[in-house]
Chain A
Amino acid sequence: EPEVTQTPSHQVTQMGQEVILRCVPISNHLYFYWYRQILGQKVEFLVSFYNNEISEKSEIFDDQFSVERPDGSNFTLKIRSTKLEDSAMYFCASSENWSDQETQYFGPGTRLLVL
């Protein structure tokens, strides 16, 4: 069964450093998402992306965050200058179509720890 993959599985960084989290969505999917989950809290939407553009972003997704699809397979989330509160599990998701009924498939996540 096709699946979303993410690398790295774990990342430890110093506050103020830049990190890039990578995702490979399911191959025929066109819609991509990033969510995060702070330890012990709920999953929160960050951003959705289609046709090389951000479709929607949350209040969390400020100027420190950016997304990119640098080639035909990867989808990345960059945090320019990490803060302690960015420590969380970051999940990438993808869907084939753009509808409210469409299933979003989640990757296994990248656990980011900012020290």
Chain B
Amino acid sequence: RKEVEQDPGPFNVPEGATVAFNCTYSNSASQSFFWYRQDCRKEPKLLMSVYSSGNEDGRFTAQLNRASQYISLLIRDSKLSDSATYLCVVNIGDSSYKLIFGSGTRLLVRP
């Protein structure tokens, strides 16, 4: 089983749509969770951390379900500029601070 698994997409949505990304992780001891965004041929950039209680940042909402080992990201009112690959990222912690990346889900927002 992959350490971090995501639907590869692509998701092709019109502007203004709501889109949801899902992610599962295999290591139940994982401590920290993040969503990164990666534009084509660019570096990953932190979009938001994911907290146990769920958290929101403007149009973006992240949820974590530790029991199901499941992370989600919801984008409301999508913009053309949201087109990118969204990377689910996990940090096991416990003296290891390497980031473990999913393969990413590609989002295309069309006019």
Binding site for B on A (CB under 8 A): 31, 33, 35, 41-45, 48, 55-56, 58, 89, 91, 95, 98-109, 111
Query: Of B43, B96, B97, B98, which contacts A107 at CB under 8 A?
Result: B43
Instruction: Name the 9 nearest CB pairs between A and B, nearest first.
Output: A100-B93, A45-B98, A106-B43, A100-B32, A43-B101, A100-B31, A100-B91, A42-B103, A42-B101
Q: A41-B103, A42-B103, A42-B104 are in contact. Are A102 and B97 (CB under 8 A)?
A: yes
Does A44 lie within 8 Å of B32, measured CB to CB? no
Q: What distance in Å separates the Cβ of B2 from its nearest Cβ neighbour in chain A?
A: 9
Chain A residue nearest to B92 (CB atoms) is A100
Binding site for A on B (CB under 8 A): 31-32, 38, 41-46, 49, 87, 91-93, 96-104
Which residues of A have CB within 8 Å of B38?
43
- Please measure, in the bound complex, the distance between the C-alpha atom of A44 and the C-alpha atom of B45, giving whole angstroms: 15
Q: A56-B96, A100-B31, A100-B91 are in contact. Are A44 and B101 (CB under 8 A)?
A: yes
- Please measure, in the bound complex, the distance between the C-alpha atom of A48 and the C-alpha atom of B91, giving whole angstroms: 13
Query: Of B45, B97, B102, which contacts A48 at CB under 8 A?
Result: B97
Query: Of A35, A58, A100, A108, which contacts B97 at CB under 8 A?
Result: A100
Which residues of A have CB within 8 Å of B44?
43, 91, 106
Does A106 lie within 8 Å of B45, measured CB to CB? yes
- Please measure, in the bound complex, the distance between the C-alpha atom of A33 and the C-alpha atom of B100, giving whole angstroms: 13
